[in-house]
Amino acid sequence: MGRECFEALSEHDCQQIYDNHQRELVETAKHNFQELLMEHADLFYHFKNIEPSGTITQNDIKEITDVLQEDLRYKLLDRLDQDRKVMLFQHLGFVHCPIREHCPAFPNCMDALIERILISNQNLPNPRFAQKDGQLQLNLIVIGLDYIANDFIDKIHQNCNDNGEYIVDGQVYGLNIETINRDNDSFSFELQCKGLICCYSNRQTFQYVYEVLDRLLQDNLDFKDS
């Protein structure tokens, strides 16, 4: 009783806790400084147009720091001036040559995330494709007034092989096409494992497609949620 709780810790534990806390403070300060750089996109914009062989001068750096230096997020890194300069130069490099390796968020920037998702899913079967007799089946529903939908369907058939199959990137798909027009738009349609294609050419035909699509999605709430 009467003792501070930290007094029960060893010197090693105290040092470790202190180091971890300092590391968190530094990481937070760097994150906030990066936000400051992003917020001043207008300040960095003209560097984007510098030729690849062009150079950024000390006057350019001074112009930038003169604008940023009064912000608290800049001042919090005063004792880590070298780290702050590195971050500033890295940001200039990203603006001047915007490749993902220069991105402040790398490796968690959107380009890198999308690539990882595509790689992890490239060998998985697409749940939107049904199978029939072991063959991938491409089931389409074409929504549109007769002449517009029919023109589109004709173009699809022109790209099919002699067996009526559709080939994409060397993969052969069986093809089944349903149409929704004024003759049958009051019927119910199952949307699961089917692709929807909407055909319109003006405001009137767009309004028709919109009304049909809205009703279909109301009738197939599971499809809408997915």
Q: Domain boundaries in the chain?
A: 3-119, 131-220
Angstrom distances, CA of residue 85 to CA of 66, 75, 126, 169: 14, 13, 47, 48
- pLDDT attached to residue 121: 63
Please give the residue that has the higher pLDDT: either 127 or 31.
31
* Mean of pLDDT values over 123-143: 66
**Lowest mean pLDDT segment, chosen from 1-5, 20-24, 56-60, 191-195:** 1-5
Q: Compute CA 179 distance to the chain's CA centroid, rounded to the nearest angstrom.
A: 32
CATH number listed for the domain at residues 131-220: 3.40.50.300
pLDDT in tens, 33-61: 999 998 888 888 776 666 555 677 788 88
pLDDT at residue 83 greater than cutoff 90: yes
Cis amide prior to 107 (ω within 30 degrees): yes
- Which residue from 84, 113, 85 is spatially nearest to 100, judged by alpha carbons? 113
